[in-house]
């Protein structure tokens, strides 16, 4: 594989594994983690020149751990949702009353796009589901599927992207506090951009989205910068 193809393949993999909403959320979590932890390191790190390496080590450990934790929790969420669905399938399977079965199916579909269809279409779909659900297929033990394992990797990679962007100031600027300030300002811009795109793809007011996300980012960064003053 050519090196130039690697980022393209990585983005394709992430795009295929996580939904657009999840991708934006993951990126935002990465920015939150890197900026808050780097702020805390400026407060808590050793005052010597080794600060730079200390910061890099802490950020890499944090983001690796966070990426893994986040990915695992995503996969667990997915596994729990699957278990919920299996329980529902088993309940529907043993329910003798057709009206109760249809009601359980309608309730499950109510939170999906099916709820926006007309009544006739909803009832046709409920009928297809009622007839098509697997029978007597009790779930014994739930395991992570290969797709859920890919989710762990995709979430991890997205968190890592935020680290790569926000770590640049620490590589080129000195002293550490100034590099942290620049990194935090980049994080603030990322907050605004993510808020903008959240709102854009959610068909909401883009500037309001940018403002809300930017405000949250600003609180986080002011807290990270101001706590140093409190301690000193």
Partner 1 sequence: MRLPSYRAFLGAYTSASERYAEAFYGIIMVTGCTGMVSLGVPKEEAGVQFMLWTALLVNILWGLIDGFTVVYGSMVDEVAADVAVGNLRSGKESEKAADDILDELDDSLIGKLGDEDKAKVVEAIRSAEGYTHFENKVRWEEIKRILAIFSIDFITVFPVAIPYIFFTDLTPAVRWSFIIATFLMAYLGYQWAKYARMRRWRIAVLFSSFTIFLLVISFALGGL
Does 58 bind partner 1 (CB under 8 A)? Our answer is yes
Contact 95, 104 (CB under 8 A): yes
Q: Are 57 and 170 in contact (CB under 8 A)?
A: no
**Structure token pair of residue 61:** 């450990």
Q: Which two tokens stand for residue 63?
A: 């983001």
Minimum gap (Å) between residue 3 Cβ and partner 1: 30
| Chosen residue from 96, 120, 172, 229 binding partner 1 by CB under 8 A | 120
Can you tell me the distance from the alpha carbon of 116 to that of 122, in angstroms, rounded to the nearest whole number?
A: 9
5 or 215, CB closer to partner 1? 215
User: Rule CB under 8 A: which of 76-105 touch partner 1?
Assistant: 76-77, 79-86, 88-89, 92, 105
Q: Which is nearer to partner 1, 72 or 186 (CB)?
A: 72
Q: Is 136 left (phi over 0), alpha (psi -120 to 50) or beta?
A: left
CB atoms within 10 A of CB 153: 17
With a CB cutoff of 8 Å and minimum separation 6, the contacts of 201 are 20, 21, 24
The only residue of 11, 13, 45, 206 in contact with partner 1, by rule CB under 8 A: 45
Interface with partner 1, residue 41, by CB under 8 A: yes
Nearer to partner 1, 178 or 223 (CB): 223
Candidate residues 1, 48, 141, 146; the one interacting with partner 1 per rule CB under 8 A: 141
Among 6, 7, 9, 20, binds partner 1 (CB under 8 A): 20
Using CA of residue 220, residue 224, residue 229, residue 232, what is the dihedral sign? positive
Residue 10 interacts with partner 1 (CB under 8 A): yes or no: no
Interatomic CA distance for residues 166 and 161, integer angstroms = 9
Contacting residue, 124, 164, 178, 189, with partner 1 by CB under 8 A:
124
Find the shortest distance in angstroms from Cβ 131 to partner 1.
Answer: 8
């Amino acid at each position: 594989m050519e090196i130039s193809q690697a980022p393209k393949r990585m983005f394709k993999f992430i795009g295929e594994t996580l939904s657009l909403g999840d991708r934006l959320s993951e990126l935002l979590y990465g920015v939150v983690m890197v900026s808050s932890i780097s702020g805390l390191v400026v407060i808590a790190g050793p005052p010597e020149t080794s600060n730079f390496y200390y910061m890099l080590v802490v950020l890499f450990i944090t983001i690796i751990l966070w990426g893994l934790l986040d990915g695992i929790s995503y996969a667990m969420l997915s596994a729990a949702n699957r278990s919920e669905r299996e329980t529902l399938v088993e309940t529907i399977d043993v329910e003798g009353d057709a009206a109760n079965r249809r009601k359980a199916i309608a309730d499950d579909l109510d939170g999906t796009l099916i709820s926006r269809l007309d009544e006739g279409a909803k009832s046709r779909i409920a009928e297809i589901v009622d007839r098509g659900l697997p029978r007597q297929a009790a779930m014994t033990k739930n395991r992570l599927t290969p797709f859920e394992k890919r989710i762990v990797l995709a979430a991890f990679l997205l968190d890592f992207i935020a680290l790569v962007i926000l770590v640049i100031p620490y590589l080129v600027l000195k002293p550490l506090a100034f590099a942290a300030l620049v990194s935090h300002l980049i994080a603030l811009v990322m907050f605004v951009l993510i808020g903008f795109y959240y709102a854009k793809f959610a068909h909401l007011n883009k500037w309001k989205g940018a403002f809300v996300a930017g405000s949250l980012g600003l609180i986080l960064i002011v807290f990270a910068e101001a706590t140093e003053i409190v301690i000193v």
